[in-house]
Amino acid sequence: MEFLLLEWVGKPVWMWAGFLSVVAALLAFDLGVLNRDNREMGIGESLWLSAFYIGFAMIFGGAIWWAYESGILATEDGTHAGITFFTGFFIEKALSVDNVFVISLIFGYFAIPRRFQYRALVWGIVAVIVLRGIMIGAGAALVQEHGWVLFFFGAFLIITGIKMLVVPESDPDVSKNPVVRFMKRHMRVSGELHDQKFFVRIPDGKTGKLVLAATPLFLALVVINIADLVFAVDSVPAIFAITTDTFIVYTANIMAILGLRALYFALAAMVHRFEYLKYALALVLVFIGGKIFWNGIVGKLDPAISLGVTLALIAGGVVFSLWKTRGQTQEAPASGT
C-alpha cells in the first residue's frame, strides 16, 4: 500500500483516492437509491437534497481547513487551503446559476420530461468529473511552466466581467447549436424517448433490420456537457486566480457541481428571479482578475479579503435580484423536437 503515499499532481495518492471515492459513493446513492425509479423530483425534495450536498461541501471544506491548520495539508502556492476552497466553491456555485438556465432550455428543446431529467444530470456529472479534471490538469501544467499565464487569466476575467456588465444578454438558440446539428446529421436518432435509455434498437427504414440509435435524452446529455465546458472557460480561470493548488481547484469545482444537479429542479422554476445576479458575478470576475495584477505589482492580498468580497457581492446580487423580481413568473421554454 506504499503507492498511496506517493505524490500525484502535488498531493498524496490517498487524498485523491479518498475524494474520488466519496464522489463515487454520492453518485451511486443518487443513481441507485434516489433515482432508482422514474419519477419527478419535487421542489421540496430538491431543496432538501441540495441542503445535504451544500452541508456536505461545508463539512468537507471544514476538514480541509482543519487539515491545513494542523499541518497535514499544504498548498502548492502557500495559500490558505480552507479559505481558497470556500472562495472557489462559492464562485463556482454562483456561476452555475446561468448554467441552470441553459440546461432548462436544452431539456425544453428536446422535450425531456422532468422525471427523466435528474438521471441525465447525474450521468452528466460523471462526464464533468473527467472533463473538468482534464481542463484543470492542463491549466495547472500551464501555470507551473509559464507563470505569466496567470496574468492572461486575470485579463480574461476582467474582460469577461466587463462584457457581462455592458453587453445585453440573449437566450441561446439550441436549434442552431453546431453540436446538435452535427449529431442529427451524422447519428441515427430515434424520434421519441424510450424511458431513461440513451440508446435503443429500432427498425431501419430501408432494410427493416434492428439498428442502434441514440435517443433525444442522449442528445440532451451531450449538449448539456458541451455547455458545461463552455461555462468552465470562465469558472476554471476564476478559481486559478484564487489558488494554483490543483487539489483545491478540483475539489471546489466538483463539490459545487455535485450540489447543482440536486438544486436544478428548484432553481429551474425560479431562475428568472436571479436576473441581476449576473452583474454581481461580473464584479466578482473583475475583482478576482484584478487581484492577480494586484498580487503581482503591489503585494499579496489577504485571502480572507477575497472571500469576504466574493461573499458580499454574491449575497448582494441574490438579495437584490429576489427583491427586484418579486411577483414575476417564468415562461416555459419551447420544444424543438
pLDDT at position 2, please? 67
Q: How far is CA 240 from CA 153, 283, 311, 334, in A?
A: 8, 17, 18, 37
pLDDT of residue 18 exceeding 80: yes
Quick one: CA torsion of 264, 265, 269, 271, rounded to 10 degrees? -10
State the DSSP code for 30: I
Q: How far is CA 297 from CA 158, 241, 249, in A?
A: 16, 15, 24
- To which residue does cell 441581476 refer? 276
In the predicted model, what is the mean pLDDT of residues 143-151?
83
Q: Which of 39, 47, 50, 222 is nearest to 114 (CA)?
A: 39
- How far apart are the C-alpha atoms of 316 and 333, rounded to whole Å? 28
DSSP structure string for 169-231: P----GGG-HHHHHHHHHS-B-SS--TT-SEEEEE-TTT--EEEEE-HHHHHHHHHHHHHHHH
pLDDT at position 252, please? 92
Q: Which of 222, 174, 183, 214 is nearest to 198 (CA)?
A: 214
pLDDT band at 269 (very low <50, low <70, confident <90, very high): low
Q: What percent of the chain has pLDDT over 70?
A: 89
pLDDT band at 158 (very low <50, low <70, confident <90, very high): very high
pLDDT of residue 327 exceeding 90: no
- How far apart are the C-alpha atoms of 159 and 154, rounded to whole Å? 9
pLDDT of residue 337 exceeding 60: no
CB-based contact 265:46 (threshold 8 Å): yes
Q: Which of 293, 304, 274, 302 is nearest to 93 (CA)?
A: 274
In the predicted model, what is the mean pLDDT of residues 270-281?
80
CB-based contact 4:17 (threshold 8 Å): yes
- If one compares 174 and 17, the residue with the highest pLDDT of the two is 17
Distance separating the N- and C-terminal Cα atoms of the chain: 53
pLDDT band at 57 (very low <50, low <70, confident <90, very high): very high
In this predicted model, what pLDDT tens digit does every residue of 168-227 receive, in sequence order? 766 666 777 787 788 878 788 887 787 778 888 888 767 778 888 888 888 888 888 888
Q: What percent of the chain has pLDDT over 90?
A: 15
- How far apart are the C-alpha atoms of 253 and 155, rounded to whole Å? 21
Spatial CB neighbours of 319, under 8 Å, sequence gap ≥ 6: none
- Give me the chain's average pLDDT, please: 82
pLDDT at position 211, please? 85
pLDDT at position 83, please? 93
CB-based contact 102:172 (threshold 8 Å): yes
9-23, 26-40, 277-291: least confident range: 26-40
pLDDT of residue 9 exceeding 90: no
- If one compares 100 and 112, the residue with the highest pLDDT of the two is 112
pLDDT of residue 272 exceeding 60: yes
In the predicted model, what is the mean pLDDT of residues 128-133?
85
pLDDT band at 120 (very low <50, low <70, confident <90, very high): confident
Q: How many helices (H) and strands (E) does the chain have?
A: 10, 4
pLDDT at position 105, please? 81
Length of the chain as a residue count: 337
In this predicted model, what pLDDT tens digit does every residue of 283-304 receive, in sequence order? 988 998 898 898 888 878 888 8
In this predicted model, what pLDDT tens digit does every residue of 58-93 receive, in sequence order? 999 999 999 999 988 888 888 899 999 999 999 888
- If one compares 269 and 148, the residue with the highest pLDDT of the two is 148
CB-based contact 180:219 (threshold 8 Å): yes
Residue type (1 letter), 2: E
What is the pTM (predicted TM-score) of this model?
Answer: 0.82
pLDDT at position 308, please? 92
pLDDT at position 67, please? 92
pLDDT at position 29, please? 78
pLDDT of residue 270 exceeding 90: no
